[in-house]
Amino acid sequence: MMNDLNNTERDMLTVIAGLDAPMGTEITAELEEYYDTEVTAGRIYPQLDAMIEKGLIRKEDKNGLANEYYLTKRGVRDLQAHREWENQYLAPIDELST
């Protein structure tokens, strides 16, 4: 389950889901844009490694220069379950916006 992930890790999963085989630099850039602050490699790569260990993502070497990241089946399942959990609480917001 995603309850053992921090907010940044959940956001990283979301970014990986939304991009086509992103590299760490692309994930970092997306988070920097969203957070509107610098996100360092020292912050991102250990969290990517932790999510690999948890079986949520996998990485593949890209020409020996960089790694590309992909959601695993478990990562997809956990991200979908988290979105469903959020939606049950956020659905009333839709009514407020009309």
19-42 pLDDT tens trace: 999 999 999 999 999 999 999 989
Confidence (pTM):
0.88
- List all residues 6 or more positions away from 63 whose beta carbon is below 8 Å from its beta carbon: none
Residue 24: predicted pLDDT: 94
The greatest distance separating any two alpha carbons of the chain, rounded to the nearest whole angstrom, comes to: 51
For the 2-96 domain, the top CATH level (class) is: mainly alpha
The count of C-alpha atoms lying within 13 angstroms of the C-alpha of 64, restricted to the half-sphere facing its C-beta, is 0
- Residue pair 75/56 in contact (Cβ under 8 Å)? The answer is yes
Residue 97 has pLDDT above 70, yes or no: no
Read off the tokens for 18.
Answer: 């939304």
